[in-house]
Chains A and B, each alone.
Chain A
Protein backbone atom coordinates (compact mmCIF):
# COMPACT_ATOMS: atom_id res chain seq x y z
CA UNK A 1 0.00 0.00 0.00
CA UNK A 2 2.98 2.22 -0.14
CA UNK A 3 2.30 2.62 -3.86
CA UNK A 4 -0.93 4.54 -3.53
CA UNK A 5 -4.09 2.49 -3.16
CA UNK A 6 -3.07 -0.48 -5.26
CA UNK A 7 -2.86 -3.55 -2.99
CA UNK A 8 0.10 -5.89 -3.39
CA UNK A 9 -0.65 -9.41 -4.57
CA UNK A 10 1.52 -11.84 -2.60
CA UNK A 11 0.25 -15.23 -3.71
CA UNK A 12 -1.58 -16.63 -6.71
CA UNK A 13 -5.27 -16.16 -7.38
CA UNK A 14 -5.56 -12.72 -5.83
CA UNK A 15 -4.32 -13.08 -2.25
CA UNK A 16 -3.22 -9.63 -1.10
CA UNK A 17 -0.74 -8.41 1.44
CA UNK A 18 -2.18 -8.78 4.93
CA UNK A 19 -1.45 -5.12 5.68
CA UNK A 20 -3.65 -3.97 2.79
CA UNK A 21 -6.71 -3.18 4.88
CA UNK A 22 -4.78 -1.42 7.59
CA UNK A 23 -2.78 0.82 5.28
CA UNK A 24 -5.38 1.21 2.55
CA UNK A 25 -7.82 3.02 4.75
CA UNK A 26 -11.38 3.94 3.88
CA UNK A 27 -10.91 4.28 0.14
CA UNK A 28 -9.82 0.68 -0.17
CA UNK A 29 -12.26 -0.66 2.42
CA UNK A 30 -15.16 0.89 0.52
CA UNK A 31 -14.52 -1.51 -2.33
CA UNK A 32 -15.06 -4.48 -0.03
CA UNK A 33 -18.13 -6.60 -0.53
CA UNK A 34 -19.62 -9.08 1.89
CA UNK A 35 -20.52 -12.74 1.58
CA UNK A 36 -24.21 -13.32 1.23
CA UNK A 37 -26.71 -15.93 2.21
CA UNK A 38 -29.21 -14.09 -0.04
CA UNK A 39 -28.99 -11.60 -2.88
CA UNK A 40 -27.87 -8.11 -1.97
CA UNK A 41 -30.20 -5.09 -1.99
CA UNK A 42 -30.24 -2.58 -4.82
CA UNK A 43 -29.89 1.12 -4.07
CA UNK A 44 -33.13 3.07 -3.54
CA UNK A 45 -33.90 6.51 -2.12
CA UNK A 46 -33.63 6.35 1.69
CA UNK A 47 -36.67 6.94 3.90
CA UNK A 48 -37.29 6.80 7.64
CA UNK A 49 -38.38 3.32 8.58
CA UNK A 50 -41.02 2.67 11.26
CA UNK A 51 -38.41 2.09 13.98
CA UNK A 52 -37.11 5.58 13.48
CA UNK A 53 -40.55 7.07 14.05
CA UNK A 54 -41.65 5.51 17.38
CA UNK A 55 -39.93 4.91 20.73
CA UNK A 56 -38.09 1.63 20.99
CA UNK A 57 -38.55 -1.39 23.24
CA UNK A 58 -38.17 -1.33 27.00
CA UNK A 59 -34.78 -2.63 28.07
CA UNK A 60 -35.25 -6.10 29.61
CA UNK A 61 -33.37 -7.42 32.66
CA UNK A 62 -31.59 -10.02 30.51
CA UNK A 63 -31.46 -9.10 26.87
CA UNK A 64 -31.96 -11.50 24.01
CA UNK A 65 -30.43 -10.83 20.61
CA UNK A 66 -32.38 -9.26 17.78
CA UNK A 67 -35.22 -11.35 16.44
CA UNK A 68 -33.58 -11.02 13.05
CA UNK A 69 -30.69 -13.15 14.30
CA UNK A 70 -32.93 -16.08 15.26
CA UNK A 71 -31.47 -18.24 12.50
CA UNK A 72 -28.04 -18.18 14.11
CA UNK A 73 -28.42 -21.27 16.23
CA UNK A 74 -26.73 -24.48 17.18
CA UNK A 75 -27.66 -27.57 15.17
CA UNK A 76 -28.87 -30.50 17.26
CA UNK A 77 -28.43 -34.21 16.69
CA UNK A 78 -31.00 -35.26 19.26
CA UNK A 79 -33.57 -32.45 19.63
CA UNK A 80 -36.12 -34.66 21.39
CA UNK A 81 -33.66 -35.83 24.04
CA UNK A 82 -33.92 -39.50 23.18
CA UNK A 83 -31.88 -42.00 25.20
CA UNK A 84 -28.57 -41.31 23.49
CA UNK A 85 -25.93 -38.64 23.33
CA UNK A 86 -26.95 -35.07 22.47
CA UNK A 87 -24.66 -32.97 20.31
CA UNK A 88 -25.10 -29.26 19.61
CA UNK A 89 -22.77 -27.63 17.09
CA UNK A 90 -21.62 -24.01 17.07
CA UNK A 91 -22.41 -21.87 13.97
CA UNK A 92 -18.79 -20.82 13.44
CA UNK A 93 -19.57 -19.64 9.89
CA UNK A 94 -22.00 -17.02 11.25
CA UNK A 95 -19.71 -15.85 14.07
CA UNK A 96 -16.79 -13.41 14.15
CA UNK A 97 -13.98 -12.60 16.53
CA UNK A 98 -12.77 -15.24 18.98
CA UNK A 99 -15.48 -15.55 21.65
CA UNK A 100 -18.35 -18.01 21.41
CA UNK A 101 -21.60 -16.64 22.83
CA UNK A 102 -22.70 -18.82 25.74
CA UNK A 103 -25.97 -19.85 24.13
CA UNK A 104 -24.10 -21.00 21.02
CA UNK A 105 -21.31 -22.93 22.76
CA UNK A 106 -21.09 -26.48 21.47
CA UNK A 107 -22.38 -29.27 23.70
CA UNK A 108 -21.88 -33.00 23.90
CA UNK A 109 -24.08 -34.35 26.66
CA UNK A 110 -24.21 -38.10 27.18
CA UNK A 111 -27.54 -37.91 28.97
CA UNK A 112 -28.73 -34.31 28.97
CA UNK A 113 -27.98 -31.44 31.35
CA UNK A 114 -28.84 -32.07 35.01
CA UNK A 115 -30.88 -29.40 36.81
CA UNK A 116 -28.44 -28.80 39.65
CA UNK A 117 -29.33 -26.66 42.67
CA UNK A 118 -26.06 -24.81 43.28
CA UNK A 119 -26.76 -24.57 47.01
CA UNK A 120 -26.81 -28.36 47.25
CA UNK A 121 -23.93 -29.08 44.88
CA UNK A 122 -20.71 -30.38 46.46
CA UNK A 123 -17.20 -31.01 45.18
CA UNK A 124 -15.26 -33.76 46.95
CA UNK A 125 -11.49 -34.30 46.65
CA UNK A 126 -10.39 -37.60 48.16
CA UNK A 127 -8.30 -40.71 47.54
CA UNK A 128 -4.53 -40.38 47.85
CA UNK A 129 -4.62 -37.15 49.84
CA UNK A 130 -3.78 -36.28 53.43
CA UNK A 131 -7.06 -34.45 54.00
CA UNK A 132 -10.18 -35.56 52.05
CA UNK A 133 -12.20 -32.37 51.58
CA UNK A 134 -15.60 -31.19 50.47
CA UNK A 135 -16.28 -27.78 48.94
CA UNK A 136 -19.48 -25.85 48.49
CA UNK A 137 -19.91 -23.40 45.64
CA UNK A 138 -19.99 -20.57 48.17
CA UNK A 139 -16.65 -21.71 49.55
CA UNK A 140 -15.08 -21.85 46.10
CA UNK A 141 -16.31 -18.31 45.44
CA UNK A 142 -13.97 -17.11 48.18
CA UNK A 143 -10.91 -18.69 46.58
CA UNK A 144 -8.47 -16.74 44.44
CA UNK A 145 -9.71 -16.90 40.88
CA UNK A 146 -8.09 -16.87 37.49
CA UNK A 147 -9.54 -16.01 34.10
CA UNK A 148 -8.27 -17.17 30.77
CA UNK A 149 -9.42 -17.37 27.20
CA UNK A 150 -9.36 -20.95 26.02
CA UNK A 151 -10.95 -23.05 23.36
CA UNK A 152 -12.54 -26.38 24.11
CA UNK A 153 -12.98 -28.96 21.38
CA UNK A 154 -14.69 -32.31 21.31
CA UNK A 155 -12.25 -35.09 20.45
CA UNK A 156 -14.76 -36.10 17.79
CA UNK A 157 -14.93 -32.70 16.14
CA UNK A 158 -14.30 -32.79 12.38
CA UNK A 159 -15.02 -36.52 12.16
CA UNK A 160 -16.75 -36.05 8.76
CA UNK A 161 -13.25 -35.35 7.38
CA UNK A 162 -12.49 -39.10 7.60
CA UNK A 163 -15.05 -39.67 4.85
CA UNK A 164 -13.58 -40.86 1.52
CA UNK A 165 -15.49 -38.15 -0.33
CA UNK A 166 -15.86 -34.59 0.93
CA UNK A 167 -19.18 -34.37 2.75
CA UNK A 168 -21.21 -31.45 1.40
CA UNK A 169 -22.10 -29.75 4.64
CA UNK A 170 -21.42 -26.38 6.16
CA UNK A 171 -18.68 -25.45 8.59
CA UNK A 172 -21.02 -25.93 11.55
CA UNK A 173 -21.55 -29.58 10.63
CA UNK A 174 -17.93 -30.26 9.72
CA UNK A 175 -16.09 -28.43 12.52
CA UNK A 176 -18.79 -27.04 14.89
CA UNK A 177 -17.79 -28.91 18.03
CA UNK A 178 -15.22 -26.37 19.10
CA UNK A 179 -15.86 -23.09 20.90
CA UNK A 180 -13.84 -20.50 22.78
CA UNK A 181 -14.71 -18.58 25.93
CA UNK A 182 -13.21 -16.70 28.78
CA UNK A 183 -13.30 -19.18 31.65
CA UNK A 184 -13.03 -18.05 35.26
CA UNK A 185 -12.55 -20.26 38.25
CA UNK A 186 -10.20 -21.67 40.85
CA UNK A 187 -6.99 -23.42 39.86
CA UNK A 188 -7.28 -27.10 40.74
CA UNK A 189 -3.72 -26.97 42.03
CA UNK A 190 -4.92 -24.67 44.82
CA UNK A 191 -7.47 -27.24 46.03
CA UNK A 192 -5.05 -30.15 45.60
CA UNK A 193 -2.51 -28.31 47.73
CA UNK A 194 -5.12 -27.85 50.45
CA UNK A 195 -5.96 -31.58 50.36
CA UNK A 196 -2.28 -32.58 50.37
CA UNK A 197 -1.52 -34.96 47.49
CA UNK A 198 0.34 -38.20 48.25
CA UNK A 199 3.75 -38.15 46.49
CA UNK A 200 2.94 -41.58 44.99
CA UNK A 201 -0.18 -40.26 43.24
CA UNK A 202 -0.15 -39.97 39.44
CA UNK A 203 -3.75 -39.63 38.28
CA UNK A 204 -7.05 -37.98 39.04
CA UNK A 205 -10.43 -39.52 38.33
CA UNK A 206 -12.93 -36.71 37.76
CA UNK A 207 -16.65 -37.40 38.01
CA UNK A 208 -19.74 -35.44 37.06
CA UNK A 209 -23.08 -35.22 38.84
CA UNK A 210 -25.09 -36.00 35.71
CA UNK A 211 -27.16 -39.18 35.30
CA UNK A 212 -24.30 -41.36 34.00
CA UNK A 213 -21.86 -39.74 36.49
CA UNK A 214 -19.40 -39.53 33.63
CA UNK A 215 -15.79 -40.10 34.66
CA UNK A 216 -12.44 -39.46 33.03
CA UNK A 217 -8.91 -40.03 34.24
CA UNK A 218 -6.60 -37.04 34.11
CA UNK A 219 -2.84 -37.11 34.69
CA UNK A 220 -2.02 -35.41 37.99
CA UNK A 221 0.61 -33.45 36.06
CA UNK A 222 -2.16 -31.62 34.19
CA UNK A 223 -4.13 -31.16 37.40
CA UNK A 224 -1.15 -29.39 38.96
CA UNK A 225 -0.46 -27.32 35.85
CA UNK A 226 -3.30 -25.32 34.30
CA UNK A 227 -6.42 -27.31 35.25
CA UNK A 228 -9.21 -25.13 36.57
CA UNK A 229 -12.48 -25.60 38.41
CA UNK A 230 -14.43 -23.30 36.10
CA UNK A 231 -17.38 -21.41 37.56
CA UNK A 232 -17.90 -18.68 34.95
CA UNK A 233 -18.09 -18.63 31.18
CA UNK A 234 -17.73 -15.23 29.50
CA UNK A 235 -18.49 -13.46 32.74
CA UNK A 236 -21.65 -15.29 33.72
CA UNK A 237 -22.17 -18.61 35.42
CA UNK A 238 -21.66 -21.69 33.30
CA UNK A 239 -24.56 -22.63 31.07
CA UNK A 240 -26.45 -25.72 32.29
CA UNK A 241 -25.27 -27.86 29.36
CA UNK A 242 -21.69 -26.68 29.90
CA UNK A 243 -21.48 -27.88 33.47
CA UNK A 244 -23.39 -25.53 35.77
CA UNK A 245 -22.47 -24.85 38.49
CA UNK A 246 -18.87 -26.08 38.04
CA UNK A 247 -16.79 -28.03 35.61
CA UNK A 248 -13.27 -29.21 35.30
CA UNK A 249 -11.49 -27.23 32.60
CA UNK A 250 -8.35 -28.63 31.00
CA UNK A 251 -7.04 -26.05 28.52
CA UNK A 252 -6.14 -27.50 25.15
CA UNK A 253 -7.32 -31.01 25.91
CA UNK A 254 -10.10 -33.19 24.54
CA UNK A 255 -13.40 -31.69 25.71
CA UNK A 256 -14.78 -34.89 27.21
CA UNK A 257 -12.02 -34.82 29.84
CA UNK A 258 -13.15 -31.44 31.15
CA UNK A 259 -15.83 -33.10 33.24
CA UNK A 260 -19.00 -31.04 33.51
CA UNK A 261 -21.15 -30.81 36.64
CA UNK A 262 -17.99 -31.82 38.51
CA UNK A 263 -18.73 -33.40 41.90
CA UNK A 264 -15.76 -35.59 42.73
CA UNK A 265 -12.02 -35.86 42.14
CA UNK A 266 -10.36 -39.04 43.31
CA UNK A 267 -6.57 -38.91 43.51
CA UNK A 268 -5.07 -42.27 42.46
CA UNK A 269 -1.92 -44.01 41.31
CA UNK A 270 -3.57 -45.39 38.15
CA UNK A 271 -6.08 -44.32 35.52
CA UNK A 272 -9.56 -45.71 36.08
CA UNK A 273 -9.93 -46.99 32.51
CA UNK A 274 -13.39 -45.52 32.54
CA UNK A 275 -15.87 -46.21 29.75
CA UNK A 276 -15.16 -43.07 27.71
CA UNK A 277 -11.39 -43.58 27.81
CA UNK A 278 -11.71 -47.32 27.12
CA UNK A 279 -13.98 -47.03 24.13
CA UNK A 280 -15.50 -43.79 22.91
CA UNK A 281 -12.45 -41.54 23.09
CA UNK A 282 -9.92 -43.94 21.65
CA UNK A 283 -8.74 -43.45 18.08
CA UNK A 284 -8.63 -46.40 15.73
CA UNK A 285 -5.59 -46.71 13.52
CA UNK A 286 -5.24 -48.36 10.12
CA UNK A 287 -3.38 -51.34 11.64
CA UNK A 288 -6.24 -52.22 14.00
CA UNK A 289 -4.56 -50.78 17.07
CA UNK A 290 -5.94 -47.71 18.75
CA UNK A 291 -4.55 -44.63 20.41
CA UNK A 292 -5.63 -44.12 24.01
CA UNK A 293 -5.09 -41.11 26.22
CA UNK A 294 -4.96 -38.82 23.21
CA UNK A 295 -5.46 -35.76 25.48
CA UNK A 296 -4.29 -32.94 23.17
CA UNK A 297 -6.34 -31.09 20.56
CA UNK A 298 -3.60 -30.47 18.03
CA UNK A 299 -2.88 -27.40 15.91
CA UNK A 300 -5.73 -26.65 13.53
CA UNK A 301 -7.40 -23.96 11.47
CA UNK A 302 -10.22 -23.47 9.02
CA UNK A 303 -11.66 -20.61 7.02
CA UNK A 304 -14.98 -19.45 8.42
CA UNK A 305 -15.72 -16.80 5.77
CA UNK A 306 -16.23 -17.71 3.02
CA UNK A 307 -17.41 -21.25 3.66
CA UNK A 308 -20.21 -23.46 2.34
CA UNK A 309 -23.53 -21.60 2.43
CA UNK A 310 -21.86 -18.18 2.30
CA UNK A 311 -21.85 -17.24 -1.37
CA UNK A 312 -19.49 -14.76 -3.00
CA UNK A 313 -21.36 -11.63 -4.03
CA UNK A 314 -19.66 -11.16 -7.38
CA UNK A 315 -16.01 -10.47 -8.21
CA UNK A 316 -14.27 -7.93 -6.02
CA UNK A 317 -12.27 -7.62 -2.86
CA UNK A 318 -13.17 -9.78 0.13
CA UNK A 319 -11.73 -10.59 3.50
CA UNK A 320 -10.87 -14.23 4.03
CA UNK A 321 -11.34 -14.90 7.74
CA UNK A 322 -10.92 -17.92 9.92
CA UNK A 323 -10.00 -19.47 13.25
CA UNK A 324 -6.78 -21.14 14.33
CA UNK A 325 -5.94 -22.80 17.64
CA UNK A 326 -3.59 -25.30 19.22
CA UNK A 327 -3.79 -27.34 22.40
CA UNK A 328 0.00 -27.17 22.55
CA UNK A 329 0.39 -23.41 22.76
CA UNK A 330 0.03 -20.19 20.83
CA UNK A 331 -0.68 -19.77 17.15
CA UNK A 332 2.48 -18.45 15.58
CA UNK A 333 1.47 -18.16 11.95
CA UNK A 334 -1.42 -18.91 9.61
CA UNK A 335 -0.86 -19.26 5.88
CA UNK A 336 -3.69 -19.00 3.36
CA UNK A 337 -3.83 -20.37 -0.16
CA UNK A 338 -6.29 -19.53 -2.94
CA UNK A 339 -4.93 -22.08 -5.40
CA UNK A 340 -5.35 -25.33 -3.49
CA UNK A 341 -2.04 -25.17 -1.68
CA UNK A 342 0.37 -24.30 -4.51
CA UNK A 343 1.16 -20.82 -3.22
CA UNK A 344 0.61 -19.36 0.22
CA UNK A 345 0.28 -15.93 1.79
CA UNK A 346 0.65 -15.09 5.45
CA UNK A 347 -2.56 -13.98 7.14
CA UNK A 348 -2.80 -11.25 9.76
CA UNK A 349 -3.43 -12.53 13.28
CA UNK A 350 -5.83 -10.53 15.43
CA UNK A 351 -4.20 -9.50 18.70
CA UNK A 352 -4.17 -10.61 21.42
CA UNK A 353 -2.93 -14.04 20.37
CA UNK A 354 -3.47 -16.20 23.42
CA UNK A 355 -2.25 -19.60 24.57
CA UNK A 356 -4.72 -22.43 23.75
CA UNK A 357 -7.35 -19.96 22.55
CA UNK A 358 -9.01 -19.11 19.25
CA UNK A 359 -6.86 -16.86 17.11
CA UNK A 360 -8.72 -14.98 14.39
CA UNK A 361 -6.82 -14.66 11.11
CA UNK A 362 -7.68 -12.45 8.19
CA UNK A 363 -6.38 -11.81 4.71
CA UNK A 364 -7.64 -9.58 1.89
CA UNK A 365 -8.47 -11.32 -1.33
CA UNK A 366 -9.26 -9.93 -4.75
CA UNK A 367 -11.53 -12.54 -6.31
CA UNK A 368 -11.58 -12.23 -10.08
CA UNK A 369 -14.61 -14.47 -10.47
CA UNK A 370 -12.72 -17.55 -11.60
CA UNK A 371 -12.68 -20.86 -9.69
CA UNK A 372 -10.42 -20.96 -6.65
CA UNK A 373 -9.63 -23.33 -3.79
CA UNK A 374 -9.14 -21.73 -0.40
CA UNK A 375 -7.12 -23.35 2.38
CA UNK A 376 -5.61 -22.29 5.67
CA UNK A 377 -2.69 -23.85 7.50
CA UNK A 378 -1.74 -23.09 11.09
CA UNK A 379 1.61 -23.24 12.87
CA UNK A 380 1.98 -23.13 16.65
CA UNK A 381 4.87 -21.90 18.77
CA UNK A 382 5.65 -25.43 19.96
CA UNK A 383 6.78 -26.21 16.40
CA UNK A 384 3.67 -28.11 15.31
CA UNK A 385 2.33 -27.66 11.79
CA UNK A 386 -1.21 -28.44 10.72
CA UNK A 387 -0.99 -31.40 8.32
CA UNK A 388 -2.66 -31.53 4.93
CA UNK A 389 -5.66 -33.83 4.83
CA UNK A 390 -3.67 -36.25 2.65
CA UNK A 391 -0.85 -36.34 5.21
CA UNK A 392 -3.35 -36.86 8.00
CA UNK A 393 -5.25 -39.77 6.45
CA UNK A 394 -2.01 -41.46 5.40
CA UNK A 395 -1.18 -41.77 9.07
CA UNK A 396 -4.63 -42.10 10.61
CA UNK A 397 -6.67 -43.80 7.89
CA UNK A 398 -9.72 -42.99 5.85
CA UNK A 399 -13.15 -44.55 5.93
CA UNK A 400 -14.24 -46.75 3.02
CA UNK A 401 -17.72 -45.26 2.99
CA UNK A 402 -19.12 -41.96 4.19
CA UNK A 403 -20.93 -41.89 7.50
CA UNK A 404 -23.71 -39.60 8.65
CA UNK A 405 -22.12 -36.25 9.56
CA UNK A 406 -23.30 -36.66 13.16
CA UNK A 407 -21.35 -39.89 13.66
CA UNK A 408 -17.82 -39.79 14.98
CA UNK A 409 -16.18 -43.17 15.13
CA UNK A 410 -12.85 -41.51 14.34
CA UNK A 411 -11.50 -38.49 16.09
CA UNK A 412 -8.85 -35.82 16.48
CA UNK A 413 -8.80 -34.76 12.84
CA UNK A 414 -6.72 -31.63 12.50
CA UNK A 415 -5.87 -31.60 8.78
CA UNK A 416 -6.41 -28.79 6.31
CA UNK A 417 -9.92 -28.02 5.08
CA UNK A 418 -10.44 -26.88 1.47
CA UNK A 419 -13.25 -24.73 0.10
CA UNK A 420 -13.76 -24.58 -3.67
CA UNK A 421 -15.27 -21.41 -5.09
CA UNK A 422 -16.93 -21.84 -8.48
CA UNK A 423 -17.52 -19.15 -11.11
CA UNK A 424 -20.94 -18.43 -9.61
CA UNK A 425 -19.33 -17.76 -6.26
CA UNK A 426 -20.77 -20.82 -4.55
CA UNK A 427 -18.58 -22.50 -1.98
CA UNK A 428 -18.18 -26.26 -1.78
CA UNK A 429 -16.24 -28.58 0.46
CA UNK A 430 -13.52 -30.39 -1.50
CA UNK A 431 -10.40 -32.43 -0.87
CA UNK A 432 -7.42 -30.75 -2.47
Chain B
Protein backbone atom coordinates (compact mmCIF):
# COMPACT_ATOMS: atom_id res chain seq x y z
CA UNK B 1 0.00 0.00 0.00
CA UNK B 2 1.31 3.40 -0.91
CA UNK B 3 0.09 5.77 1.77
CA UNK B 4 -1.70 4.87 4.94
CA UNK B 5 -4.74 6.53 6.31
CA UNK B 6 -4.16 9.14 9.02
CA UNK B 7 -6.78 10.06 11.61
CA UNK B 8 -9.77 9.25 9.50
CA UNK B 9 -8.65 11.22 6.47
CA UNK B 10 -9.61 9.47 3.26
CA UNK B 11 -7.15 7.20 1.49
CA UNK B 12 -7.06 9.17 -1.72
CA UNK B 13 -4.10 7.36 -3.29
CA UNK B 14 -5.71 3.96 -3.53
CA UNK B 15 -6.89 4.49 -7.09
CA UNK B 16 -3.44 5.35 -8.29
CA UNK B 17 -2.00 2.09 -7.02
CA UNK B 18 -4.08 0.11 -9.48
CA UNK B 19 -3.40 2.76 -12.07
CA UNK B 20 0.36 2.56 -11.49
CA UNK B 21 0.41 -1.15 -12.23
CA UNK B 22 -0.59 -0.37 -15.79
CA UNK B 23 2.86 0.40 -17.20
CA UNK B 24 3.37 1.84 -20.68
CA UNK B 25 6.44 -0.42 -21.02
CA UNK B 26 8.82 2.19 -22.33
CA UNK B 27 12.03 0.70 -20.96
CA UNK B 28 14.64 -0.02 -23.62
CA UNK B 29 16.23 -3.49 -23.36
CA UNK B 30 19.96 -3.30 -22.61
CA UNK B 31 22.73 -5.88 -22.74
CA UNK B 32 25.61 -6.33 -20.28
CA UNK B 33 27.89 -4.78 -22.91
CA UNK B 34 25.70 -1.67 -23.10
CA UNK B 35 26.01 -0.98 -19.37
CA UNK B 36 29.50 -2.34 -18.68
CA UNK B 37 30.95 1.11 -17.90
CA UNK B 38 28.33 1.67 -15.22
CA UNK B 39 28.15 -1.90 -13.92
CA UNK B 40 30.83 -1.34 -11.27
CA UNK B 41 29.31 -2.47 -8.00
CA UNK B 42 31.28 -5.12 -6.13
CA UNK B 43 29.37 -7.51 -3.91
CA UNK B 44 30.85 -8.74 -0.60
CA UNK B 45 31.49 -12.23 -2.00
CA UNK B 46 33.59 -10.74 -4.79
CA UNK B 47 31.02 -10.79 -7.59
CA UNK B 48 31.79 -7.91 -9.89
CA UNK B 49 35.50 -7.81 -9.23
CA UNK B 50 37.41 -7.37 -12.51
CA UNK B 51 40.61 -9.00 -13.74
CA UNK B 52 43.84 -7.45 -12.56
CA UNK B 53 45.91 -7.43 -9.38
CA UNK B 54 48.09 -5.30 -7.18
CA UNK B 55 50.37 -5.27 -4.16
CA UNK B 56 51.12 -2.76 -1.44
CA UNK B 57 54.51 -2.07 -3.02
CA UNK B 58 52.77 -1.15 -6.25
CA UNK B 59 50.18 0.89 -4.37
CA UNK B 60 52.60 3.05 -2.38
CA UNK B 61 53.74 5.32 -5.24
CA UNK B 62 50.17 5.62 -6.56
CA UNK B 63 49.02 6.62 -3.10
CA UNK B 64 51.82 9.19 -2.79
CA UNK B 65 50.91 10.71 -6.14
CA UNK B 66 47.09 10.59 -6.09
CA UNK B 67 45.89 10.24 -2.48
CA UNK B 68 48.41 11.74 -0.06
CA UNK B 69 47.47 15.35 -0.79
CA UNK B 70 44.16 14.83 1.03
CA UNK B 71 44.73 11.72 3.16
CA UNK B 72 48.29 12.51 4.32
CA UNK B 73 51.60 10.82 3.76
CA UNK B 74 51.38 7.08 4.45
CA UNK B 75 47.78 7.53 5.51
CA UNK B 76 48.61 9.83 8.41
CA UNK B 77 47.33 13.38 8.83
CA UNK B 78 45.65 15.01 5.90
CA UNK B 79 42.37 16.86 5.64
CA UNK B 80 40.18 14.01 4.37
CA UNK B 81 38.76 11.10 6.34
CA UNK B 82 41.27 9.09 8.34
CA UNK B 83 42.41 5.84 6.71
CA UNK B 84 44.20 4.32 9.70
CA UNK B 85 42.79 3.42 13.11
CA UNK B 86 44.07 5.12 16.23
CA UNK B 87 42.77 2.25 18.32
CA UNK B 88 39.73 0.05 18.58
CA UNK B 89 36.22 1.45 18.57
CA UNK B 90 35.02 0.79 22.12
CA UNK B 91 32.28 3.38 22.62
CA UNK B 92 30.67 6.29 20.85
CA UNK B 93 33.62 8.43 21.96
CA UNK B 94 37.18 8.31 20.81
CA UNK B 95 38.51 6.32 17.92
CA UNK B 96 37.36 7.32 14.46
CA UNK B 97 35.78 4.60 12.38
CA UNK B 98 38.37 3.56 9.80
CA UNK B 99 39.19 0.58 7.61
CA UNK B 100 41.12 -1.50 10.11
CA UNK B 101 38.99 -0.90 13.18
CA UNK B 102 35.55 -0.69 11.62
CA UNK B 103 34.78 -1.60 8.01
CA UNK B 104 33.10 -5.02 7.97
CA UNK B 105 33.86 -6.10 4.39
CA UNK B 106 37.06 -5.95 2.33
CA UNK B 107 35.42 -5.51 -1.07
CA UNK B 108 34.13 -2.08 0.01
CA UNK B 109 37.65 -0.73 -0.52
CA UNK B 110 37.81 -1.72 -4.17
CA UNK B 111 34.25 -0.62 -4.85
CA UNK B 112 34.63 2.79 -3.22
CA UNK B 113 38.13 3.65 -4.42
CA UNK B 114 37.23 2.79 -8.00
CA UNK B 115 33.96 4.75 -8.09
CA UNK B 116 34.80 7.74 -5.92
CA UNK B 117 38.55 8.34 -5.78
CA UNK B 118 40.67 10.37 -6.28
CA UNK B 119 38.18 13.01 -5.20
CA UNK B 120 38.95 15.42 -8.03
CA UNK B 121 39.24 12.72 -10.75
CA UNK B 122 37.00 9.81 -9.76
CA UNK B 123 36.79 6.74 -12.01
CA UNK B 124 40.20 7.43 -13.58
CA UNK B 125 42.20 4.69 -11.84
CA UNK B 126 42.91 1.43 -13.68
CA UNK B 127 41.72 -1.80 -12.09
CA UNK B 128 45.36 -2.71 -11.34
CA UNK B 129 45.81 0.64 -9.60
CA UNK B 130 42.68 0.07 -7.52
CA UNK B 131 43.87 -3.41 -6.48
CA UNK B 132 47.27 -1.95 -5.60
CA UNK B 133 45.77 0.86 -3.52
CA UNK B 134 43.46 -1.64 -1.82
CA UNK B 135 46.46 -3.79 -0.94
CA UNK B 136 48.41 -0.75 0.26
CA UNK B 137 45.63 0.38 2.59
CA UNK B 138 45.00 -3.13 3.92
CA UNK B 139 48.72 -3.43 4.74
CA UNK B 140 48.81 -0.01 6.43
CA UNK B 141 45.80 -1.13 8.46
CA UNK B 142 47.61 -4.40 9.35
CA UNK B 143 44.84 -6.51 7.85
CA UNK B 144 46.95 -8.39 5.27
CA UNK B 145 50.63 -9.27 4.91
CA UNK B 146 53.04 -6.88 3.22
CA UNK B 147 53.53 -8.99 0.11
CA UNK B 148 49.95 -10.26 -0.26
CA UNK B 149 48.57 -9.87 -3.77
CA UNK B 150 45.04 -8.50 -4.07
CA UNK B 151 42.92 -9.73 -6.96
CA UNK B 152 39.42 -11.05 -7.62
CA UNK B 153 40.26 -14.31 -5.82
CA UNK B 154 42.10 -13.03 -2.77
CA UNK B 155 40.32 -9.78 -1.88
CA UNK B 156 36.92 -11.28 -0.96
CA UNK B 157 38.68 -13.78 1.34
CA UNK B 158 40.24 -11.03 3.45
CA UNK B 159 38.53 -11.11 6.82
CA UNK B 160 38.10 -7.67 8.31
CA UNK B 161 38.83 -7.36 12.06
CA UNK B 162 35.49 -5.73 12.93
CA UNK B 163 33.31 -7.96 10.75
CA UNK B 164 31.27 -9.08 13.79
CA UNK B 165 30.89 -5.60 15.26
CA UNK B 166 27.46 -4.83 13.83
CA UNK B 167 23.83 -5.21 14.82
CA UNK B 168 21.16 -4.85 12.15
CA UNK B 169 18.81 -2.19 13.49
CA UNK B 170 15.66 -3.15 11.59
CA UNK B 171 15.99 -6.79 10.48
CA UNK B 172 12.25 -6.99 9.88
CA UNK B 173 12.50 -4.46 7.10
CA UNK B 174 15.08 -6.45 5.12
Contact = CB atoms under 8 A, between A and B. Distances in A.
A289 B165 contact: yes
A84 B3 contact: no
Interface string B1-18: 111111101000100100
Interface residues on B, range: 35 or more
A88 interface: no
B44 A273 contact: yes
Nearest to A275: B112
Contacts of B126: none
B42 A272 contact: yes
A358 B168 CA distance: 27
Contact of A293 (B28, B92, B165, B174): B174
Contacts of A290: 89, 97, 102, 165-167
B13 A148 contact: yes
Contact of B26 (A126, A135, A354): A135
A274 B119 CA distance: 17
Contacts of B30: 124, 126, 132-134
Interface in B14-48: 16, 19-32, 34-35, 38-45
B39 A126 contact: yes
B3 A148 contact: yes
A329 B16 contact: no
B42 A289 contact: no
A352 B9 contact: yes
Given A133-B28, A143-B24, A190-B20, A295 B43 contact: no
A84 B123 CA distance: 17
Contacts of A186: 20
Contact of B23 (A124, A125, A194, A329): A194
A146 B169 contact: no
Contacts of B127: none
Given A205-B41, A215-B41, A195 B27 contact: yes
Contacts of A296: 169-170, 173
Nearest to B44: A273
Contacts of A291: 166-169
B107 A221 contact: no
Contacts of B92: 162, 284-286, 396-399, 409-410
B110 to A, nearest CB: 11
B111 interface: yes
B166 A292 contact: yes
Contacts of A213: 40, 115-116, 122-123
B20 A354 contact: no
Contacts of A270: 43-45
Contacts of B166: 282, 289-292
A266 interface: yes
Given A133-B28, A332-B7, A84 B80 contact: yes
A54 interface: no
Interface string A261-292: 00110101011111100110011111111111
A294 B7 CA distance: 27
B108 interface: yes
A187 interface: yes
A131 B29 contact: yes
Nearest to A271: B44
Contacts of A195: 27
Contacts of B93: 397, 399-401
Given A288-B165, A409-B92, 11 more contacts: A83-B119, A124-B38, A132-B32, A202-B174, A226-B1, A272-B43, A284-B89, A284-B92, A293-B173, A331-B6, A400-B93
Sort A-B residue pairs by CB-CB distance and give the 7 closest, nearest first.
A133-B27, A212-B116, A330-B6, A139-B26, A397-B92, A275-B112, A291-B169
21 contacts: A84-B79, A131-B27, A133-B30, A144-B23, A146-B13, A148-B3, A186-B20, A195-B27, A205-B41, A212-B115, A226-B2, A270-B44, A272-B41, A273-B44, A274-B111, A286-B91, A288-B90, A290-B102, A292-B104, A353-B7, A354-B6
